[in-house]
């Protein structure tokens, strides 16, 4: 399977636990010259990891101390005394905040305030990239790159530059927003910047929700669990799942432990694949961290994207690639931050320590919480976790009740049809069920005014991550329809043009007509189409006052020579009566349109023929 970058992108939309900082926002150091600081010089939120002298990775560097700072404390729900709590500084809902920001200030800074668009940087060759961050202390910018005029990027989440794959997804979704805003503006010329921005944002958030529940979760949880918990999107119509009593807040366990299972999926080498899909290169994972500068190069985005959907992930288990356990954030290249370590950090140790920082209960407690058997001793774990993991657990913990959630849950055998074991499956599925049921703005809701129309929902359901990649990359033309899965005979690389396409005309919003017209008129339009040429004439006479409601769709759909006569309302006080004759040599259209003089907006009349109305004027066009 594929999909680690999209999983990280999803995680960053849902969770962001802040850690403490020193004075003036500076980082807190808990170690100095490889050893812990003396207690009287140590910040109270230091929670460093002691490294034994026997450690084969860090001892050669003289390191006995790994940096770790506690998460910021947060008020308890009832503002009473009790165990320390942590905060989530992004909205818990799956709402696109990773694209648009989680504060009004950040959201405003990302907008261009023109045509509903997000700010973008336009390159010399005409490509659009994310807006740049000129803050040299943002933890990403490098002097050598800045001297070339290349900076790290800004997006709705401060972690957007963590790795090149993640930055690419931020770029794709920003482009997706702008493409939607452009098309909506064309459909609805009277919409202002705010209306275009909010409607495009609403669609992007809906697409993120649909892709998550339609493509990602089935791979992670398996079809049986999706069906059991009713997590799959509906095929048509609205969902009645919203329950105001359901709390969608991200659980501490989900953010701190359960959803961090993805770190075990990371491969050591990340691919970049050329347009022809034949030539590829590989780069060590740690060298892709905080290096978004590749995206300035022409063609780099497509190589990164094709590499991401062509890179096989590791299994979800207790075995991690050394790139994760030995080289995290390791300094690489000539131009690095002075704070970058000569050696890497151990992400697994950091994850376990974070669980202890947050006071997560032990692994047996979570099994019991999920309705699974609670192990009373190590023997009870036989058949639950793999034998190699069990031996390591027994060597590290004195009691089964001491086993950390992260350690135990990742050692379990995966459930049938899913990627992870029953404990992580339980905790992750519970969170995503609450995210769906507890969100009054869920894209399938029928609640007004936020609900999409049934026709709009049908179009959103056509969304796939594959199509988003096709639409927002530079020149990707082939992709497997299910990008979370490997290319095979049932999921072959397919031309982008063959993938389902959203029809945004469902977002056309006609200007509402009053019940009476001040200056009623009608025009008689005659159009003759032969051999690709168009001839038309029109004349204006008095309107009869009819205000019909429904447009006949399609006006004509004839595959062979025939004569069709039809009539019907078209909305906005417009009525059409006409005859369509299809012959072997052409199409004759003779129609009469009656409308109030204030009728306004484009009105589609089928696949090939359209009429645009602007007040008292009528423009007709046809293409075959």
Active site residues: 12
Q: What are phi and psi of 536, to 5 degrees?
A: -145, 155
Cα–Cα distance measured from residue 323 to residue 166, given in angstroms and rounded to the nearest whole number: 17
DSSP label at residue 390: H
Residue the block writes with tokens 């709705």: 156
Nearest to 155 by CA among 264, 324, 249, 292: 292
CB 292 within 8 A of CB 153: yes
Query: How do beta strands 65-66 and 85-86 pair?
Result: unpaired
Nearest to 270 by CA among 296, 303, 292, 241: 303
- The per-residue DSSP string of 330-341 comes to ---SSS--TTS-
Nearest to 224 by CA among 414, 6, 381: 414
Q: How big, in percent rounded to 5, are the helix, strand and coil portions of the chain?
A: 35, 20, 50
Cα–Cα distance measured from residue 28 to residue 22, given in angstroms and rounded to the nearest whole number: 5
Tokens of 610: 């359209």
Residue the block writes with tokens 């001297």: 147
In whole angstroms, how far apart are CA 519 and each of 139, 514, 616?
65, 12, 10
Task: Answer yes or no: is 210 a known binding residue.
Answer: no
Cα–Cα distance measured from residue 377 to residue 181, given in angstroms and rounded to the nearest whole number: 59
Cα–Cα distance measured from residue 566 to residue 550, given in angstroms and rounded to the nearest whole number: 13
- The per-residue DSSP string of 448-460 comes to TTTPPPHHHHHHH
Tokens of 309: 């959907």
Q: Which helix (H) or strand (E) holds 538?
A: strand 533-542
Cα–Cα distance measured from residue 525 to residue 586, given in angstroms and rounded to the nearest whole number: 18
138: Cα within 13 Å, side-chain hemisphere: 23
Query: How do beta strands 49-50 and 35-36 pair?
Result: unpaired
Cα–Cα distance measured from residue 378 to residue 334, given in angstroms and rounded to the nearest whole number: 48
Show binding-site residues for heme b: 263
Show binding-site residues: 263
């Amino acid at each position: 399977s594929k999909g680690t970058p999209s999983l990280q992108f999803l995680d960053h939309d849902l969770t962001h636990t802040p850690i403490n900082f020193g004075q003036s926002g500076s980082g807190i150091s808990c170690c100095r010259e490889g050893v812990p600081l003396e207690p009287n010089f140590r910040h109270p939120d230091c929670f460093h990891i002691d490294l034994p002298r026997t450690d084969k990775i860090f001892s050669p560097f003289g390191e006995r101390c790994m940096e770790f700072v506690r998460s910021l404390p947060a008020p308890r729900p009832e503002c009473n005394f009790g165990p320390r709590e942590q905060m989530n500084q992004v909205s818990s809902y799956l709402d696109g905040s990773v694209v648009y920001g989680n504060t009004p200030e950040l959201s405003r800074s990302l907008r261009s305030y023109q045509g509903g668009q997000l700010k973008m940087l336009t390159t010399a060759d005409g490509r659009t990239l994310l807006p740049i961050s000129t803050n040299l202390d943002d933890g990403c910018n490098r002097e050598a790159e800045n001297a070339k005029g290349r900076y790290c990027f800004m997006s709705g989440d401060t972690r957007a530059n963590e790795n090149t794959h993640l930055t690419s997804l931020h770029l794709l979704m920003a482009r997706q927003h702008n493409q939607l805003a452009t098309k909506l503006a064309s459909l609805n010329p009277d919409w202002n910047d705010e209306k275009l921005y909010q409607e495009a944002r609403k669609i992007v958030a809906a697409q993120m929700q649909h892709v998550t529940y339609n493509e990602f979760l089935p791979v992670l949880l398996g079809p049986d669990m999706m069906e059991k918990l009713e997590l799959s999107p509906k095929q048509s119509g609205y969902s009645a799942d919203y329950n105001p009593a359901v709390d969608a807040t991200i659980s501490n366990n989900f953010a701190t432990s359960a959803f961090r299972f993805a770190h075990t999926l990371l491969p050591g080498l990340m691919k970049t694949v050329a347009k022809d899909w034949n030539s590829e290169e590989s780069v060590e994972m740690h060298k892709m961290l905080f290096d978004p500068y590749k995206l300035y190069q022409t063609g780099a985005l497509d190589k990164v994207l094709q590499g991401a959907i062509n890179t096989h992930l590791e299994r979800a288990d207790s075995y991690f690639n050394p790139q994760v356990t030995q080289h995290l954030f390791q300094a690489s290249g000539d131009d690095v931050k002075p704070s970058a370590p000569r050696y890497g950090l151990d992400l697994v140790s950091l994850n376990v320590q974070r669980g202890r920082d947050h006071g997560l209960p032990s692994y047996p407690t979570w099994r019991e919480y999920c309705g699974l058997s609670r192990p009373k001793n190590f023997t009870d774990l036989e058949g639950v976790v793999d034998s190699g993991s069990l031996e390591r657990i027994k060597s590290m913990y004195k009691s089964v009740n001491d086993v950390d959630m992260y350690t135990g849950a990742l050692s379990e055998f995966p459930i049938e049809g899913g990627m992870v074991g029953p404990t992580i499956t339980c905790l992750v599925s519970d969170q995503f069920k609450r995210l769906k049921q507890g969100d009054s703005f869920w894209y399938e809701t029928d609640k007004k005014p936020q609900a999409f129309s049934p026709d709009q929902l049908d179009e959103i359901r056509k969304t796939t991550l594959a199509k988003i990649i096709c639409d927002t990359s530079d020149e990707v033309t082939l992709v497997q329809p299910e990008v979370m899965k490997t290319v095979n005979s049932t999921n072959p690389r397919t031309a982008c043009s063959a993938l389902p396409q959203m029809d945004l005309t469902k977002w056309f919003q006609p200007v509402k007509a009053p019940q009476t017209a001040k200056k009623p008129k009608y025009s008689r339009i005659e159009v003759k189409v032969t051999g690709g040429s168009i001839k038309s004439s029109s004349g204006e006479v008095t309107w009869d006052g009819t205000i019909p409601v429904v447009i006949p769709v399609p006006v004509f759909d004839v595959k062979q020579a025939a004569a069709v006569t039809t009539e019907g309302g078209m909305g906005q006080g417009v009525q059409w009566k006409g005859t369509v004759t299809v012959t072997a040599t052409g199409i004759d259209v003779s129609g009469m349109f009656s409308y109030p003089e204030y009728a306004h907006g484009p009105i589609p009349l089928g696949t090939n023929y359209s009429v645009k109305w602007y007040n008292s004027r009528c423009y007709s066009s046809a293409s075959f």
